[in-house]
A and B are shown apart, each in its own frame.
Chain A
Amino acid sequence: MKIKNPLLVLMSLVGIMACGKEKPPTTKHISFYESFETGQFRAILRPLNNQLNGWIPNGVADISISNKEFKIKSWLDDSANVTHRQFVTMVSKCPTISNDSNGDGLIDFKEAFQSTKKILIPLDSDLSIYSEENPQYPKGNFNYEQKIDLNKLQLQNNMGLELNGKALIVLGTSISKDLPNSVSSFENALPQLSIPIACGIIKKIN
C-alpha cells in the first residue's frame, strides 16, 4: 500500500531540527513528499565469497514497515567471530563473480557496489544516526533486532524508503584470513572486515 502521511511532515521537521547538525548533508528522514510501501519484507541472505572459510554464511532478514515504525529482525550463521557491517543498499542485484573486475577471485565491496553512495540504511545499533567513527554492528553468529519510529529512521544519500527489490549486504570475515592486497577496504576498516560475505534481495511477502 502506498501512503502519504501528513503526520510525518511535522515529525520529520521536528527530527531535522533536533538533530540536523549531527548528520552528514546527504542523509535525511522520510518526508511528506515521498511515498513508501508498508508491509512485511524478507531477504534470504545467501553466501558471497564462499571460499573465505569452512562455513558457508547464510541467514534471513525480516523487515516490517508500518505507518509509524520500521522494524528489522535478522540472523546470520557464520564461523568468523568478527564485526559484521550490514547495509540495506540502493542496488537491486546481489554481486556475482562477474563483478570481480580485478580478477583476484574475490568480490570486494568496491567491486560489488562501486561506492558507499549506494548505502541506504546502515543496520547498526542506532538507526537514527550514522556514526562513521564508531559504528556498532553485530558480531559473529548474530541475532539482530532493531526498531525505530519512521520519522527518526535515517536514510543515506537522500534516498526514499522503497525497500522492495533492494539488496541487503553483510560484510566481514575472519581477520586471520589472508587476503590479496587487491581487496579494497570500506571506510578505513581492515579488508577482512570489508569483504562481503552474504547478500539477499528484499522482497515483499505480505
Chain B
Amino acid sequence: MKQILLIACLLFSSLGQTKIDLASVHSINKIDGENYLVKLKNGKVEFVSSEQQIEQFSDMIKPSYSFSLNEEAPIFEPTIIEGLKEAKALFQRLNSNYKRSSECSNRAHVWAYEEFLKNQIKSNKVFLFFTASYINRHHFKWWFHVAPLYKVRVGNQIVDYVFDYMFDSEPRLIKQWTDNFVFSKRSCKRTTKFSEYDVNPQTEDCYLMIESMYYWMPTDLQDQETSGKYKVNFYPYEIKGAYDQAF
C-alpha cells in the first residue's frame, strides 16, 4: 500500500497551483514565451506559465510523427437513418443516466455502442479539436470534444447529423454543432490526419475528424496515423471503461 502511495506521489507533479497527474497528460503545446498549454487525456486543458515546471514533461512537447500506414483502411458503412423523424426518436432514446463528471469520449462510446447493440445501427464519431490559439484566446477549457454522428436521409440526400445529447436537444448539422463550442463561428477544417491539427495550432480555430463508431479517444486517431492501427470492433475493456467512468 505504501509503495502504491509513493508511486502516486511521484506521478503527481505540481505545476503552479495545479496538480497534474503525469499519466493524465496527452500532450503539451507551447503557446508563447513561457506559456504552455497542457492537454489532458480527458479533454480538459491546463495553462502553465513556467519553463522549469514543464521540464519534466519535455518529451511530451511537440511529438514527432511518422506516416507509415501498414494496413489498408477497412471499409465501414454506417447505417442510414430513414428521415429526421426517426433520427429524433433515436436521439430521444439515448441514455440520459450519465454521471456529472462524465467525459465526452465515454458518453459518445456508450451511446454509439448501445444503439448498435440494441438496434444494430452503425454510426460514426465526429471529433472536434480546438487549436492552442483558440483555447488561449477564449480561455476555453477543453482541447477536444466528440459525439456520435449519424447519416440521415433527408429528401433524396444523405446528411450527417451530430447526436450530442448532453449539449443539444436534437440532432444537429455539423456546423450547428461546432458553433456551440467555436465562438468565432469559424468552420472547422476537416482532416484525416491528427498530426495536421497538432502541428498547425495557429492557423485555424478547430479541426474535425470523422471516424467509425469504434474510435474512442484521440489516441486512437494518432495510433491509426502513426502505426496503421485501424479499429474495426468495440473492445470489451473499452466499453467497460466507458460505462464505469460515464454512467
User: Does A28 sit within 8 A of B, measured CB to CB?
Assistant: no
Q: Is the CB of B166 within 8 A of A58?
A: yes
Quick one: closest B residue to A59, CB to CB? B100
Q: Mark A45-72, 1 if CB is under 8 A from B, else 0.
A: 0110011011110111000000000000
Interface residues of B in 155-191 (CB under 8 A from A): 165-169, 180-181, 183
Q: Mark A21-59, 1 if CB is under 8 A from B, else 0.
A: 000000000000000000000101011001101111011
- CB contacts (< 8 Å) of A59 on chain B: these are 100
Q: Is the CB of A58 within 8 A of B167?
A: yes
- With A46-B167, A94-B169, A201-B169 in contact, is A54–B140 under 8 Å at CB? yes
Q: Which of B96, B139, B140, B141 contacts A60 (CB 8 A)?
A: B96
Measured CB to CB, the closest approach of chain B to A159, in angstroms, equals 24
Quick one: closest B residue to A45, CB to CB? B166
- CB contacts (< 8 Å) of B100 on chain A: these are 59-60, 75, 77
Which residue of A50, A59, A75, A205 has the most chain B CB atoms within 10 A of its CB atom?
A50
- With A46-B168, A46-B169, A201-B169 in contact, is A55–B141 under 8 Å at CB? yes
Q: Is the CB of B180 within 8 A of A56?
A: yes
Q: Mark A11-26, 1 if CB is under 8 A from B, else 0.
A: 0000000000000000
User: Does A102 sit within 8 A of B, measured CB to CB?
Assistant: no
Quick one: closest B residue to A75, CB to CB? B100
Q: How many residues of B contact A (CB 8 A)?
A: 14
- CB contacts (< 8 Å) of A60 on chain B: these are 96, 100
Q: Which of A44, A55, A94, A201 contacts B166 (CB 8 A)?
A: A44
Q: Is the CB of B166 within 8 A of A46?
A: yes
User: Does B118 sit within 8 A of A, measured CB to CB?
Assistant: no
- Dominant secondary structure at the B interface: loop
Measured CB to CB, the closest approach of chain A to B153, in angstroms, equals 25
Measured CB to CB, the closest approach of chain A to B97, in angstroms, equals 9
Quick one: closest A residue to B139, CB to CB? A54
Interface residues of B in 81-103 (CB under 8 A from A): 96, 100
User: Does A79 sit within 8 A of B, measured CB to CB?
Assistant: yes
A60 to B96 Cα, complex, angstroms: 9
- CB contacts (< 8 Å) of A46 on chain B: these are 166-169
Q: Which of A44, A58, A79 contacts B96 (CB 8 A)?
A: A44
A205 to B141 Cα, complex, angstroms: 32
Measured CB to CB, the closest approach of chain B to A52, in angstroms, equals 9
How many residues of A sit at the interface, in one of the four size bands? 10 to 19
- CB contacts (< 8 Å) of A50 on chain B: these are 180-181, 183
Q: Is the CB of A54 within 8 A of B138?
A: yes
Interface residues of A in 90-106 (CB under 8 A from B): 94
Q: Mark B133-159, 1 if CB is under 8 A from A, else 0.
A: 000001111000000000000000000
- CB contacts (< 8 Å) of B140 on chain A: these are 54
Quick one: closest B residue to A76, CB to CB? B100
Q: Is the CB of B169 within 8 A of A54?
A: no
Q: Is the CB of A42 within 8 A of B141?
A: no
Which residue of A53, A94, A201 has the most chain B CB atoms within 10 A of its CB atom?
A53
- CB contacts (< 8 Å) of B165 on chain A: these are 44
A53 to B183 Cα, complex, angstroms: 10
Q: Is the CB of B181 within 8 A of A56?
A: yes
A94 to B168 Cα, complex, angstroms: 11
- With A60-B96, A77-B100 in contact, is A47–B141 under 8 Å at CB? no
A51 to B180 Cα, complex, angstroms: 8
A153 to B19 Cα, complex, angstroms: 44
Q: Which of B96, B138, B139, B180 contacts A47 (CB 8 A)?
A: B180
Q: 11 more A-B contacts (CB under 8 A) besides A53-B139, A55-B141, A60-B100?
A: A46-B166, A46-B168, A47-B167, A50-B180, A50-B183, A51-B183, A54-B138, A54-B139, A54-B140, A56-B180, A77-B100
> What 9 A-B pairs are tightest by C-beta distance, nearest first?
A51-B183, A54-B139, A54-B140, A54-B141, A55-B141, A75-B100, A50-B180, A54-B138, A58-B166
Contact sample, A vs B, 11 pairs, CB 8 Å cutoff: A44-B169, A46-B166, A46-B168, A51-B183, A53-B139, A56-B181, A58-B167, A60-B100, A77-B100, A79-B141, A205-B96
